Amino acid sequence: MAVAVVLGVPALFLALFAYYPLAAIIGESWRDAPSVTAPFVEILAKPLVLRALGNSALQASLTALLVAVVGVPAGYILARYDFPARKLMRVFALVPFFLPSIVVVVAFVSLYGEGGFLGRWLAPARSLSEGLSGILAVNLFFNLPLVMVLTATSLEETDAEQLEAAALLGGSRWLHLRRFVWPQARSGVLAGALIAFVYAFLGYTVPLIVGGATNRTVEVEIFSRFYTYNDFAGAAALALVQLLVLAGLAAAFLRWLILHRPSGLAIRYPPPRKRLWAEASRTESVVVTAGLLLVFGFLFLPIGALGASAFLETDTGALSIRSFQILFSPATEEVLYVTTFQVILNTLFFACLTALLVVTLGILGAWGMRRLGPRGRWGADALLFIPLAISPITIAMGLYLAWAGRSSLGLAVWPLMLLAHVLVAFPLVVRTLVSSLDRVPEDAVEAAQTLGSHAPDRLFRVELPLIRRGLMLAAAVGFATSLGEFAANNLLYPIARPYTTMTVAIYRLLVTPEMSSDKPLREAAAAASLLLILLSAAVFFLLTRLPAAREARHGRKA
Amino acid sequence: MGGRLELRDLFMRYEAAPIVDHVSLEIRSGELLALVGPSGSGKTTLLKLIAGLLRPEAGSIWLDGRDITDVPPADRRIGLVFQSLALFPHLTVADNIGYGLQAKRVPKAEREKRIAELLERLHLDGLEDRHPDQLSGGQQQRVAVARALAPEPEVLLFDEPLASVDARLRDELRWEIRTLHRESGTTGIYVTHDHGEAAFLGDRLAIMAEGRVHQVGPPSEVEAHPQSAYVAWFVGYNVLGPLGASAPRLPKPGGGGQFLVLAPPDIELTPSGGREGVLLGIRQTPEGVRAALNTPQGRLEVALANEEASRLAGKIGSRVRFGFRHALELPE
């Protein structure tokens, strides 16, 4: 009974703002259709649409392949070699994962672009910031860290004695890799490659800015049908096609995960690491060092370039804070129609509200799910996680069609943006909170029960305080998601100018033609990107470090 | 005075196997009943049924003549000291103890008075602002007991709270629990697998195995008059049998047949004895010197007089003959 009430709130939320909008999309695509299949036949007959589907599939497959080919050796190095600053590198390897996509695009342009630090001197380097190769480079940037760390983690979950036994039994290095390393790494690599595939298939920001007219993905095509041509029916039909492709993939992946559950053998000794130069041979050390430099150079040089370009004048090369002056000048306001301060305020407003809302809904969802039986939990899992397969563009379009647009229910635009952010962050936040709650010892909850404590009292006094870290992480995820959200904001931009956020502002600054040569807007875009990075880093640090620091002050263990 | 608890025909299964198999038991107001049995005998499950953390498949639980089978644990007024202690790691000692009072919305002044009183009674003064992981094992035990006592439950359940404490401290804490129980007058059930601990703490013992209660009574009575071979074996008798069988086997309920039950002092080592065994060794126990014999029907503990012990010291590993003065024949 109590469980029904608790789960009812997030369920109602999803029903109103995820499933009803989805129904609105379906309704839109069939509005004037003569038959059930007609809208699909019609949309799939368009050469541009077919091309977009082909582009999405191509970019997704190449990204997945590239990520696996680069990520597996990199993960192997992280797992099996010891070198200075290894742990630090491993933590920092996750940073790109939390960066807003548009910021990374700006970073790549400022390093490899025509006027970039490398691209200016080295013409071939420009391919990393434009066209298909540029898209693949940025996709690799985003997904490499994940595959690398997943591979390293699954390799570390091998017992050292197993490795020793294998060594004693002899066999070539190739046999060792094929029979030992690959089976261990397989699940991590495939999970990472699939995430990269979905990421690239749903690609929006990167193909929109880097790809040019020939590399438009499905997501970009939906966007332009909706935004530029107001072809709502076509956009809706295409969104459904995309959703079906992704749902099929997700189902296949879940099936595979269930079939290939890793064995539960206990790890007594983690496998040893070879110290570079000392224990590894010289050739081995040279190769590994070169690989490390390449990977971390690839991950961190663009961010460095972004930082540098915010403080260097493009034309003179002089050190200055001109970019920030431009960012807060009337010239920028002319482009954005709102002041930059307003943009920052908007961004923080959405991010704070998203964090608050998504954590509240997430707690209710996670807490309720824990009290369901295995079957109920499976169902709730599916219901709560379907939004994960809905792309941000689809979410924003559905919200618009259902709650604004032709609907008489007419919500203002800022709640639509907020809801879109919450929906994008929701699946990950619930997952984070469910796994935190699963780690709360059952007997602590039982103890509270025998002490006369009822459910709500228990939640606030035992369970939530015990998952403080998980709560903070969930809030950080919600905050960062909203901060970096671009696709949904950009789709709603025509009706949401007063609510412009940082990501959209950066995009406007990038695509608006320079009005006068003494006010280079690209510099302002770099400055805004740097601000956004610092903002998300500060909040992430505060939310994830504060509880740890507080506990350290109490002199207590984790 | 604490409540009178009555269990009527409780039944509970895990997968197909019964873990609490039609248990009926009455716990008198204010007494401390020691529930003793080997691990896996269903003791903890029975406690969780009483606390309301599990629901029985059949049967009912009555407190002071009121059926509480369907009352949620938070409303039962039954406290539980967990085997793992289950202290709240994020709360201070004082907040741990005060948790149940706060749940009952006891006013702050009264709550603080009660906490201070419990801190003093359990020798925890000065530790109220510490967190559980800053306490020693013994201090943690005391906090767990104080926390369970604070809301003044009608019945207090102990689930082997001393299982992970070293021997010296365990002895000390046993005394404290016994004294505390006498002073508070609460009805108590103390679960343990240690017969000595049960006999020390319990006003009465309930011997449990395979989900069933085999015998209930004061420790001295259970020891003097075991009603089954199983209980006899559990309280320290030698059990041989089934009668006539030659293979040594421990009695396991459900096997059936008659068993020969011998108290260690009732066996004598004499060349005229009718049976033969191999002398395994001699050791000192709190009850006196004991010899261990390997016989075709099982291993026997024999009580020895001191002079007998020195005479036998050289015979370890050789065959000796024995007989018995007195034996019981009991069903499984």
pLDDT, tens digit, 9 for 90 and up, residues A234-286: 888 899 888 888 888 777 766 666 565 555 455 556 677 888 887 778 888 89
List, for residues A397-443, the tens digit of each pLDDT value.
999 988 886 555 567 889 999 999 999 999 888 888 888 888 888 88
DSSP 8-state code for residue A294: H
Q: Is the pLDDT of residue B313 over 60?
A: yes
Residue A248 sits at φ, ψ, to 5 deg, of: -60, -45
**Interacting residues of A473 by C-beta distance below 8 A, sequence separation 6+:** A432, A436, A543, A544
Phi-psi region of A277 (alpha: psi -120 to 50; beta: other; left: phi over 0): left
- Rounded mean pLDDT of chain A? 84
Across the interface, do B84 and A446 touch by the CB < 8 Å criterion? no
Closest-CA residue of chain B to A454: B74
* Tens digits of residue pLDDT in A131-184: 999 999 999 999 998 888 888 888 887 666 666 776 677 667 677 777 777 777
Residue positions counted in chain A = 558
Is the distance from CB of A388 to CB of A31 less than 8 angstroms? no
B58 bridge partner residues: B11
Nearest CB among B53, B87, B133 relative to A449 is that of: B53
Amino acid at A526: A
Sign of torsion over alpha carbons B47, B53, B58, B61: positive
Convert B260-271 to b/e letters by CB count within 10 Å (16 or more is b). bbbbbebbbbee
DSSP secondary structure string for all residues of A358-383:
HHHHHHHHHHHHHTS-HHHHHHHHHH
DSSP assignment, residue B235? Answer: T
Mapped onto helix, strand or coil, the DSSP state of residue B42 is coil
Mean pLDDT of B86-92: 91
Pairs from A314-319 (Cβ < 8 Å, separation ≥ 24): A314/A115, A314/A520, A314/A522, A314/A523, A315/A517, A315/A520
As a whole number, mean pLDDT of residues A530-544 equals: 83
CA atoms within 13 A on the CB side of A251: 6
| Contact criterion met (CB < 8 Å) for B78 and A450 | yes
Query: Using N-to-C axis directions, what is the helix angle for A232-259 and A47-80, rounded to 10°?
Result: 30
Supply the pLDDT for residue A187: 77
Alpha-carbon gap, residue A524 to A313, rounded angstroms: 11
A517 φ, ψ to 5°?
-70, -20
State mean pLDDT over B259-269. Answer: 83
Closest CA to B206 of B11, B13, B2, B47: B47
Q: Hey, which bits of chain B come out as E strands?
A: 5-14, 17-27, 32-36, 58-63, 66-67, 78-81, 155-159, 187-192, 204-209, 212-217, 238-240, 258-262, 267-269, 275-285, 288-295, 298-304, 319-324, 328-331
What is the per-residue pLDDT across B108-141, written as a single tens digit (0 to 9) for each? 999 999 999 999 999 999 999 999 999 998 899 9
pLDDT at A422: 95
How many alpha carbons lie under 13 Å from residue A442 in its C-beta half-sphere? 6
Cross-chain Cβ contact B133/A462 below 8 Å: no
Please report residues of A whose CB lies closer than 8 A to that of B84: 441, 443
Q: A546: how many CB neighbours lie within 10 A of its CB?
A: 13
Q: Which of A399-413, A442-456, A482-496 has the lowest average pLDDT?
A: A399-413
Are B80 and A446 a contacting pair at CB < 8 A? yes
* Structure-derived torsion over alpha carbons of residues A92, A97, A99, A102, reported in degrees to the nearest 10: 140
Using an 8 Å CB-CB cutoff, list residues of chain B that contact chain A: 48, 51-53, 72-80, 82, 84, 86-91, 99-100, 102-104, 131, 133-134, 147-148, 150-151
Helix A218-227 and helix A47-80: axis angle, to 10°? 140
Nearest residue in B to A456, CA atom: B103
Identify the sign of the CA torsion B300, B305, B310, B315.
negative
Distance CA B102, CA B273 (A): 69
Q: Are A198 and A54 in contact (CB under 8 A)?
A: no
Name the closest residue on chain B to residue A468, using Cα atoms: B90
CA-based R_g, chain A, Å: 25
**CA–CA gap between residue B273 and residue A418 (Å, rounded):** 93
- Say whether the peptide bond before residue B242 is cis (omega within 30 degrees of 0): yes
- Please tell me the predicted confidence (pLDDT) of residue B248: 40
Hunting for tokens 């009706």 — which residue is that? A495
Q: What is the per-residue pLDDT for B4?
A: 94
Sheet holding B275-285, edge to edge: B267-269, B319-324, B275-285, B288-295, B298-304
CB B36 within 8 A of CB B206: yes
Which pLDDT score, from 0 to 100, does residue A171 have?
66
Q: Are strands B238-240 and B258-262 parallel, antiparallel or unpaired?
A: antiparallel
R_g over Cα of chain B: 23
Dist. CA B212–CA A120, nearest whole Å: 85
pLDDT at A410: 61
Three-state DSSP state, A521: helix
| Neighboring chain A residues of B100 at a CB cutoff of 8 Å | 451-453
Confidence of residue A46 (pLDDT cuts 50, 70, 90): confident
Instruction: Return d(Cα A136, Cα A116) in angstroms, integer.
Output: 18
Beta-carbon separation of B104 and A452 below 8 A: yes
Contact criterion met (CB < 8 Å) for A443 and B51: no
Phi-psi region at A312: left, alpha or beta (left = phi > 0; alpha = psi -120 to 50): beta
Please state the pTM of the whole predicted model: 0.81
> Would the CB atoms of B53 and A466 count as touching at under 8 Å?
no
- Please give the ipTM for the structure prediction: 0.79
Percent of chain A with pLDDT over 90: 31
Q: Measured in Å, how far apart are chain B's first and last C-alpha atoms? A: 38
